[in-house]
Amino acid sequence: MRDIFVFVTLHAASGHEEALATAMRQVIARTREERGCHFVEGFRSCHDLTLFYIHSRWVDDAALDAHQALPHTVRFLDSTQALLDRPAQVVRTRPV
Domain total in the chain: 1
Per-residue pLDDT of the chain (96 residues; tens, 9 = 90+): 689 999 999 999 999 999 999 999 999 999 999 999 999 999 999 999 999 999 999 999 999 999 999 999 999 999 999 999 999 999 999 999
Triad 64, 33, 50: Cα angle to 5°? 70
What CATH number does the domain containing 42 carry? Answer: 3.30.70.100
C-alpha to C-alpha distance for 34 and 53, rounded to whole angstroms: 19
Domain ranges, residue 16: 4-93
Direct distance between the N- and C-terminal alpha carbons of the chain, in angstroms, rounded to an integer: 13
Q: Quote the strand ranges of 1-96, DSSP E.
A: 4-11, 37-44, 51-58, 89-93
Residue 81 CA to its chain's centroid (Å): 13
